[in-house]
A = this chain, B = another copy of it.
Amino acid sequence: MIQDASKLQTDRKALLVNSVDPISSLRDMRDSIDNIDAAIIHMLAERFRCTRLVGKLKAQNGLAPSDPGREAEQVSRLRQLAAASKLDPDFAEKFLAFVIREVIRHHESIPPGGAA
């Protein structure tokens, strides 16, 4: 049974890639990509809600906007998660840097005292 399930999976992938109707297969894969993008956008929205609170907390307590130790931990953790899910760890690191640049841009716009 396990072998059958595995064969079914392989057949499904072959069907998707070698279908006689590549346009329909392409449309199908794009629907999945669109669903994934919607999930990521909502996750990013929630992430910035958190980092906005962090920014206010730091400003109100005189803490530095950036924290190189924390960032090094994040890079290391995300590289490991990426490798485990077969995502290029270099891309994961670039992604984190891209998001942190935006977070720092937000934090710099909060005046000391946090009354943004």
Chain A residues packing against B (C-beta within 8 Å):
13, 16-18, 22, 25-26, 29-30, 32-34, 36-51, 53-54, 56-58, 60-61, 63, 70, 74, 77-78, 81-82, 85-88, 91-92, 95-96, 98, 102, 114
Contact = CB atoms under 8 A, between A and B. Distances in A.
Given A45-B86, A81-B41, A36 B57 contact: no
Tell me what chain A mostly uses at the interface: helix, strand, loop, or mixed. helix
B91 A102 contact: yes
Most chain B C-beta atoms within 10 Å of own C-beta, residue among A26, A56, A60, A86: A26
Given A78-B41, A95-B44, A16 B85 contact: no
A61 B29 CA distance: 15
A78 B40 CA distance: 10
